[in-house]
């Protein structure tokens, strides 16, 4: 845990989250909430069924045999790493621009970041981390 960065965040409150006057537990909860800014980050490894569930069947059957095989190879592993640029590029190349599947697959690869992730902290801070950052 980067306690210097955590302390700086709490004391300066650059996004006016409202840490002042809060208990250590309340501050930790605020850091672990999704911020209003909605910074997006890649989700990382997800279950392949999420990809399949977001694929329009008619758009899959419209793919060339080569692209269908690539799709099957990616989803056939059981897990898909949405943080991998090659995977996202493959989805973007497989499905035409503006297609429902392409839009769904590219958007599902991201999620809103927590404030601690925006700060680059290694993990979600606990009330103990807040106490250490503020009082040593």
Are 107 and 44 members of one domain?
yes
Model confidence pLDDT, tens digit, residues 65-99: 999 999 999 999 999 999 999 999 999 999 999 99
Geometric angle at alpha carbon 11, from 132 and 3, rounded to 5°: 30
pTM as predicted = 0.69
Domain count, the chain: 2
Same domain? 24 vs 49: no
Query: What is the domain extent for residue 30?
Result: 3-38+113-135
pLDDT tens per residue across span 2-26: 999 999 999 999 988 899 999 999 9
Q: Do residues 50 and 94 share a domain?
A: yes
Same domain, 7 and 30: yes
């Amino acid at each position: 845990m980067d306690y210097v960065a955590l302390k700086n965040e709490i004391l300066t409150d650059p996004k006016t989250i409202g840490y002042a006057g809060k208990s250590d537990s309340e501050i930790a909860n605020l850091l672990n909430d999704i911020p209003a800014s909605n910074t997006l980050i890649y989700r990382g490894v997800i279950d392949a069924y999420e990809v399949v569930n977001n694929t329009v069947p008619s758009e899959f059957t419209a793919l060339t045999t080569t692209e269908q095989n690539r799709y099957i190879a990616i989803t056939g592993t059981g897990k898909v790493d949405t943080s991998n640029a090659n995977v996202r590029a493959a989805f973007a190349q497989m499905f035409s621009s503006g297609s429902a599947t392409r839009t769904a697959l590219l958007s599902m690869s991201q999620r809103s970041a927590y404030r601690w992730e925006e700060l680059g902290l290694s993990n979600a801070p606990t009330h103990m981390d807040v106490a250490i950052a503020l009082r040593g």
